[in-house]
Amino acid sequence: MRTGPIFFGVRHLSPAAAFQLRRTLDQVRPRLVLVEGPSDLNGQMQWLCHPETRFPTAIMAYTRRPPVRTVLWPFAVYSPETQAILWAHEHGVECRFMDLPSSVFLALAAREESGEAEEAASTENIYQRLETLTGEDHDAFWERNFEQLEEGRYLSAANAFGRELRAASAEAPFQTAETLVREAYMKRVIRQAVDSGIPEEDIFCVCGAFHVAGLEGNEPLSDGEAEALPQEEALSTLMPYSYYRLSSRSGYGAGNRAPAYFEMLWEALGGGGLRELPYRYLTRLAAAHRKAGNLVSSAEVIEAARLANALAGMRGSRYPTLPDLRDASVATMGHGQFSQLALAAADTEIGRTIGFLPEGVSRTSVQEDFYRQLKELRLEKYRTAQVQRLDLDLREKLNVKSEAAALADLRRSFFLHRLRILGISFASLLPSRQEGANWGEYWDLRWTPEAEIEVVESSLLGDTVEGAAAYALKERGAQSASIAQAAAIFEDAFLCGMPAAAGHALTVLQGLSVDSAAIADVAETASRLSLVVRYGDLRRFDPAPVIPLIKQLYLRSCLTLAEGCVCDAQAAPAVTRAMDQLNALQLHHDFLDGDRWLRLLEDISDRDDLNTRCSGFAMAILLERGKADEELLSREVSRRLSPGVPADLGAGWFEGLAAKNRRALIARLSLWRHLDNYLSGLDEEAFRRALVFLRRAFADFSPGEKNDIAENLGELWGVNPRQAAEALMNDATQAEQELLSSLEDFDFDDI
């Protein structure tokens, strides 16, 4: 006659434990099944048992107030806890969680984050010692020694392992205390069940093997002790999980590195036994390798199976384990190189499986809105673990009947930009493929459990995705300290299709624009606002309120640009970038005074008291716009690259000039003659200083452009242009390498 509850010790993601657990449950037929899990979240069990639920899934508890902290309890189809819950549901047996409430776990996590708890050595040290002794990682050790145990031996072996692991572990005081409190709480739940009239022998407890000794020996938590437990107000949800997340063990120490493989192990146990496992694994691996475009013969698969069985015998197990199967497949299908099989192995061992939950699962309002929009916008097919490309054409489609269909891609763009604002990593925006083609947007979409957590965290900001994004933008606006930051917020609101949020950001921007700002910030702001005016119609956005502010910023830039050009070499790139942005701004909008801008460029180009790189860049813009003739350029080149002009000033001016119109400059032989004469007249020290700027000036030139310049120099030097190009394009000599290397440590402080 059995006395006391049955404590079935498991490894949390062990197929053999799940298989033996169900057989044991069939034999003992308990009246109550208690499972290690958050005791306040029993309501989530009904969804784990729903016929439409597909594993893996996870229960997530999270704090109601920011900063959001989360705790996860993942469930795979081969988890013993999953199978215990499903068995109870199938047989009409009551099933409950018995661990600490999620609110207590969150409070304990907060203490660990705040530093109140010591970092635990935990059982990882024991696992490392086992790996050293056995030569295999813990997953392989467990599979070889426990997953292959015959019926009836698993329970005693797992419980014995848990006791020895507990005795050998050297946990830090905080973790030891937490373990004891958890076990005392579980004993309290068992005692409450007994007090309710359920005999102890009719209670079946599923817990980590590590806890069996504690549950057998410790006393239950008293009422006073239970009331004294720290708690944090918490909410919960059930979320789809992924095998990739289980394999990374991120945030869940009891994961395993090959969840798809362990699911195969589970299927083999429920089918023809572990003898099937090598053939399941090797055929799927071969199929994945072939799908990747590689050749795999049937003979290689057969030979891999034979070799795996031989390796298993040599290593002391009845059936091959994952290391045996991998070694055998590398030797046969991979021809001795794992790199040849790496992609197929990842697909076969980790897999791309993502769980699925039916409609009606308790979710936050933001989660509900997120999934509703995924469905409405036909983005559900992108909710996979594999990265998928989504190309959007924001232009209205005229060959469809409904407005929703005509603007489908624009609505998708609004939605994805709102997710980007909220930091939800479901979608990543890619650079545009065509310069100036702002009707096209390109995204990479990939779903991860982290994205689900980020959606939940957004629920603290609003009830919908749009509402949460609006609040996030408003918070950023309150923290803005510069017009550039405010302009970035305005642009984000524009991209999100949120006029009210854009209006608020514009108000913030106008307030900040009263204060002084660097020319780079003013130009950046005007450039962002210009985008709204140019593409407002495309995104159904009225740009009228933006135009007066663009005019104001443009006028301000014209008044302060020359002053900004009084700068050193380190600040000059930011100023020239601002000049480029302002030039593009004026070209795009005919309501901005072009004559004023051209007069300003002429003044900057002509002045000798400004940074020469800025003056050279102003000349480059004038040339690009056809406002500087050959005579003016020749005069400026003669003046800027004349004997007596310091090396850094002359080369700096040329660097600014060469930043634009490269093809037009290459075609002007007189320019290269002046540059050659100028450099030839410098002494060695001055030449070295000039070379610093020239290296930087030519860094972005293409090989073809450099080749054309070399031909120009060959013509100037009176040698065969092609031979000169070949000589100059060859690798540098040892002496030249030493000279170039010496420039890496050049001191710019005196420039």
Cα 549 to chain centroid, rounded: 36
Instruction: Tell me how far apart the 2 most distant CA atoms of the chain are, in Å.
Output: 111
Strand 57-63, strand 234-240: pairing: antiparallel
Query: How confident is the model at residue 177, as a pLDDT?
Result: 82
Burial (CB count within 10 angstroms: exposed 0-12, middle 13-18, buried 19+), residue 133: exposed
The vertex-92 CA angle with 89 and 95, nearest 5°, equals 60
Q: What's the rounded Cα separation, in Å, for the pair 583 and 579?
A: 6
Q: What's the rounded Cα separation, in Å, for the pair 596 and 725?
A: 43
Query: How confident is the model at residue 260, as a pLDDT?
Result: 95
Query: How confident is the model at residue 84, as a pLDDT?
Result: 98
Residues sharing a CB contact under 8 Å with residue 440, sequence separation 6 or more, in sequence order? 391, 392, 393, 394, 432, 433, 434
Query: How confident is the model at residue 699, as a pLDDT?
Result: 66
E-only strand ranges, 608-735: none
Residue 437 carries which side chain, given as an amino acid letter? A
Residue 490 carries which side chain, given as an amino acid letter? F
Burial (CB count within 10 angstroms: exposed 0-12, middle 13-18, buried 19+), residue 324: buried
Query: How confident is the model at residue 338, as a pLDDT?
Result: 93
Query: How confident is the model at residue 370, as a pLDDT?
Result: 92
Q: What's the rounded Cα separation, in Å, for the pair 159 and 265?
A: 21
Q: Does the global pTM surpass 0.85?
A: no
Residue that the structure tokens 């057989």 belong to: 23
Q: What's the rounded Cα separation, in Å, for the pair 721 and 318?
A: 76
Of 381, 412, 373, which is closest to residue 394 (Cα–Cα)? 412
Contact 347, 288 (CB under 8 A): yes
pLDDT, averaged in runs of 10, over the chain (751 residues): 82 93 95 96 94 92 79 93 98 97 89 53 65 81 88 84 79 71 95 94 94 89 92 88 75 69 95 93 96 92 96 93 96 93 93 86 83 92 90 84 82 95 93 66 90 84 90 92 89 92 90 81 89 82 88 91 91 92 91 93 92 91 85 78 74 81 68 69 70 65 69 65 57 50 46 39
Contact 492, 417 (CB under 8 A): yes
Of 72, 65, 54, which is closest to residue 12 (Cα–Cα)? 72
Of 523, 530, 602, which is closest to residue 555 (Cα–Cα)? 523
Of 482, 458, 480, which is closest to residue 470 (Cα–Cα)? 458
Q: What's the rounded Cα separation, in Å, for the pair 15 and 2?
A: 27
Cα 5 to chain centroid, rounded: 46
Q: What's the rounded Cα separation, in Å, for the pair 193 and 186?
A: 11
Contact 265, 281 (CB under 8 A): no
CA dihedral 353, 355, 359, 361 (to 10 degrees): -170
Residue 738 carries which side chain, given as an amino acid letter? E
Query: How confident is the model at residue 410, as a pLDDT?
Result: 92
Length of the chain: 751
